[in-house]
Structure formats: C-alpha cells, structure tokens
Structure 1
Amino acid sequence: MEDGGREPGRRNSPDPLLIRKLVPFFASCALYFLLWLPPDEPSWNSALTKCLPILCLALFVHDTAPSGPYGQFIWVGLLCSAIGDILLTWPNWILFGMMAYAVAHLFYLRALGLVPMYQGLLGSVVVMFLFYFGVLQPHLPSGLSLPVFVYVTILGLMLWRAQAQGTLAALGGLFLSISGAILAWDTFIQSLPLGRLIIMVTYYAAQALMALSTGRKPRLKTGQ
C-alpha cells in the first residue's frame, strides 16, 4: 500500500474473492432495509442493524487491504462511522454522532492526502458548501450552528480530496456528501417523503466505495 493520498494499485478486473468477501456487507444491508425499523423508536437493535454493514466493510478492509497507511486510515474511518451510526440512532446524541462522523471524515482526509492540491476544485467546493450552510443555518438550533459548520467544513475538505484523487474514492466522497446534505435537510428543514431511503442508500454505497478504494489505484489529476 502506498503512502497517504495514493491508493494501492491492483488489476482492473473484479476479483471474485473480493466479491465473496463483500457478501456479509450486502446481506447486512438487505437485513437493514427488510427490517426497516422505525427511527422514532430507537433501540440497540436498530443501532446494531444500522451499523452492521459498516462493520462488515471494516472487516473487509482489514482482511483485504494491502499493508500501509491508506487502508489503515480507511479502516479506522469506517469504525468511527459505525460509532456515529450507533450514536445517531438516538436524537439526543446527535452532537456526539456528528463528532464521530467528523472524526471518520478526518481519517478519510488523511488517507487521501493533499497531493495534487487541485485548488480550482477547492474553490468550487467551498462556494457550494458555504451556500448550503447558509441555507441550513437559519433552521439550526442555536447550540448546533458551530458544530454543524465545523462538520460541513470537514466534509467539504474530504470531498475536495476525494475528487482530486478520482475513481472509487471520488464517488465515495460524492455520495457521502449527498447523504449528509439530504440528512441535514430532512432533519432541520423539512422531512422528505423518501429521505431516509435516499440517505441510507447513498451512505452505504459511499462507504462501500471508500472500502473498495483500498484496493484500487486512483487516477490522480494534475490540474491546479
């Protein structure tokens, strides 16, 4: 495995062994959507059902990623995401859940590195995220404005680095941002009819892509 910011190289054809190792992830996702436990009745059963696919991805990375920092940082990020899943099951723990997700994104950010900088992309991400936060901020409880701003900043930085690296990580970062944006809208602005379904589909897809990126080499962009 190469240093931070560079995903390890592998052949482009799908590895049947890797696909088999993802079976627990797909099975646990199916279990979550089949049970579809109501979010207004939080319990340890619903928390475990929600975080189980992410734990399966963490095990997948632990078993398949080549040794080196990239896979290790993604692995820890997945574990922090699973903690966030558990905490966010209970509405009163939303701040702690956000903190766990923020730490997860910081580990993803560390894995993706800062090369190439691709400053033009950074400017676009900053404008987009500031605009969205401006729309969101009037609807936030007073005590959450600063934590949400910090979280949005970290998520934006992660998206910037993921897009700069390209391939699976880029799609993973994009889907994580979409999932987070819809979650924030559904939670603080207006409940969406299919909000939870879209949030979870994009969230699980994003985390799977980040996990799979540990076995792929990114298409590094050279633009500044």
Structure 2
Amino acid sequence: MSQLQVIKDVGPKLIPFFKTVAIYFVVFIPQASPGYIAAVLKCLPIICLMIFVVWHGQQMEERFKSFWKKILCGLFFSCIGDYCLIWPDYFILGMVAFAVGHVNYIMAFGFQPFNLPAGLCSYLVATIGCLYLLPGCTGIMLPGVPLYTLLLSTMMWRAIARFPLKKNLWSWTRLFTAAGAVLFVISDLLIGLGMFKKLAIPHAQAAIMGTYYLAQLGIALSVVDLNDNIKQE
C-alpha cells in the first residue's frame, strides 16, 4: 500500500476522533470542572481510537493480531487513566492505569530493531526530567514517579526504534507513532511541572490534552499498513 493510499484510507475513519476532540475542547476546557460529563467527553476520543484500531486489526493476518490487540489494551487502560484523572483523589489509580497502558505499548512495539542510540537518548531525557521533578514528590510518588518515568521512556524508545532511516522501510505511520510517543512524554511532563513544581503554565489543560490526544493518535496509527511494515522487517 502506497503512502498516499494509506492517508486516503485512514483519513475518513479518523473523523469521529477529531470531532470528539473538538467537542472536548469546546465544552470542557472553558469550564475545566470535574464531573461525569467531563469524564465522558475526555474519554470519547480514546474510545474512537479504540474502534479505529479494532476496525484495522480485524483486517490483519492472524499472526499480526497480537500487535493490534496490545495497542487496543494500551488505549483501554489509558481510557481508564483519563477517567480517573478527572478527580484528583484518583490520581494514583490513574497513574497505575497509564503505566499498564505503557507496558502494553512496549510489548506491542517489541525490542527489534534494538536501536541502542535511541534508547540512550530516551533514558537520558527521562532521567533529567525525573531528577528535576523528584524534589517535589512525596509519599508514594517518590518511587512511583521514577517507575512511571522508566516505563514512559521505554515506550518512547521502542516507538522511535520502529522508525527506520532506510528509505525502503520508511512510512508515515511509523513517523506518526514515533512522534506520538514523544508527545506523550511532553504531555506527562507538563502534568508533572504543574503538580510537582507548581509552575503556572499558560493554557496548561489545553496544552496537556492537545499533546496527549495527538500522542494517542500517533500510537493508534501504528496498526495501519501493519502487514507491509512487519513483512519488511
């Protein structure tokens, strides 16, 4: 499947995702008040991505089903995390749900190709960020933040490692997946800066959710043209 064909095929199927993202920003962001309606609006875009992944996954060969099912599980646990983070009292539970989601993404991406330089860069960035945030952590966050950072940085590494520099293996979907993982790190860093460093970030909620939704979109796109990508590896 050519890159142009991939874009033409995927675009219409992502319309529900973009519509629900727009609804979230129009309805929730101006009020930013927690509640069940806000939770539903926040989760709808991820639910749309889950449907998108299932639709594409059903067309995959049997031997590739493990990949898209792990991506689906990652989105599912992320959705649980989104729901929990609406209420500050459930922040720890939400953090655990996202951690499980990252484990599923890591298992989906695998460790081939290994790409050690990408791993070293990912862990270096994560270590610097973690050391900066740790002084503001207390209680369960002291071990929790480093552990979560380890999973997040590993997920980023494995997503970036899937994007080859060789021309014959290059694809938009792999580029979007790598970019999505980086955006996930940025989104979580913005949360950490506000929560642990008490920094007043302009339009923080919009920035956090904007980068987050784009991140999940990039990761979900990893299931597109999966047959072609894996066969080339």
2 CA distance for matches of 1:211 and 1:125? 21
Question: For residues 67-106 of structure 1, what are the structure 2 equivalents within 5 Å?
Answer: 67=60, 68-106=65-103
Amino acid of the residue matched to residue 30 of structure 1? A
Paired residue for 1:4? none
TM-score, scaled relative to structure 2: 0.85
User: 2:119 and 2:221 mapped to 1: Cα distance?
Assistant: 24
| Map of 2:104 onto structure 1 | 107
| Cα separation, 1, equivalents of 2:38 and 2:195 | 18
3-state SS in 2 of match to 1:52: helix
Pairwise CA distance, 1:72 = 1.0
Amino acid at match of 2:215: A
Given that 2:74 and 2:104 are in contact with CA atoms closer than 8 Å, whether structure 1 keeps it comes out as yes
Counterparts of residues 45-84 of structure 1 (less than 5 Å): 45-65=37-57, 66-67=59-60, 68-84=65-81
Aligned residue identity for 1:215: V
Contact 1:28 1:53 in 2 (8 A): yes
25, 36, 40: which one aligns with 1:33: 25
Q: Secondary structure at the match of 1:116?
A: coil
* CA apart distance, 1:36: 2.3
Answer 1 or 2: which has greater helix percent: 2
**How far does residue 16 in structure 1 lie from its aligned partner after superposition?**
3.8
- Following TM superposition, by how much is the alpha carbon of 1:52 offset from its aligned partner in structure 2, in angstroms? 0.6
Tell me the secondary structure at the aligned position of residue 22 of structure 1.
Answer: helix
Deviation string, structure 1 residues 126-164 (Cα, Å, up to 9, x no partner): 221111111100111222111111110000000110111
Distance between the aligned counterparts of 1:85 and 1:30, measured in 2? 17
Q: 2:196 aligns with which of 185, 188, 191?
A: 188
8 A contact 2:46–2:75 mirrored in 1: yes
Aligned structure 1 segments of 4 or more residues deviating by more than 6 angstroms? none
Is the Cα–Cα contact under 8 Å of residues 28 and 41 in structure 2 kept in the other structure? no
Report which stretch shifted further, 155-164 or 17-26.
Answer: 17-26
User: Would the aligned equivalents of 1:18 and 1:64 in 2 still touch at CA under 8 Å?
Assistant: no
Query: In structure 2, how many angstroms separate the alpha carbons of the residues matched to 1:100 and 1:184?
Result: 17
**Partner amino acid, structure 1, of 2:25:** F
The alignment covers a number of residue pairs equal to 210
For structure 1, the residue ranges without an aligned partner over 5 or more in a row are 1-9
Q: Distance in 1 between matches of 2:45 and 2:91?
A: 20
- For residue 104 of structure 1, give the secondary structure of its aligned residue in structure 2: helix
CA distance change for structure 1 residues 18 and 124 in 2, over 3 Å: closer, same or farther?
Answer: closer
Q: Distance in 1 between matches of 2:141 and 2:69?
A: 31
Give percent identity, aligned residues only.
Answer: 31
Alpha-carbon distance in 2 for matches of 1:203, 1:169: 13
Structure 1 residue aligned with 2:141: 144
Q: TM-score, normalised by structure 1?
A: 0.88
What code does the residue aligned with 1:188 have? F
Higher relative contact order, structure no. (Cα contacts within 8 Å, ≥ 6 residues apart): 1
Selected match of 2:221 from 212, 216, 219: 212
Alpha-carbon distance in structure 1 between the residues aligned to 2:89 and 2:138 = 13
Once residues 88 and 122 of structure 2 are traced to their aligned partners in structure 1, the CA distance between those partners, rounded to angstroms, is: 29
Instruction: Identify the match of residue 174 of structure 1 among 161, 168, 182.
Output: 182
Distance in 1 (CA, whole Å) between partners of 2:39 and 2:13 is 23
Q: CA deviation at 1:125?
A: 1.6
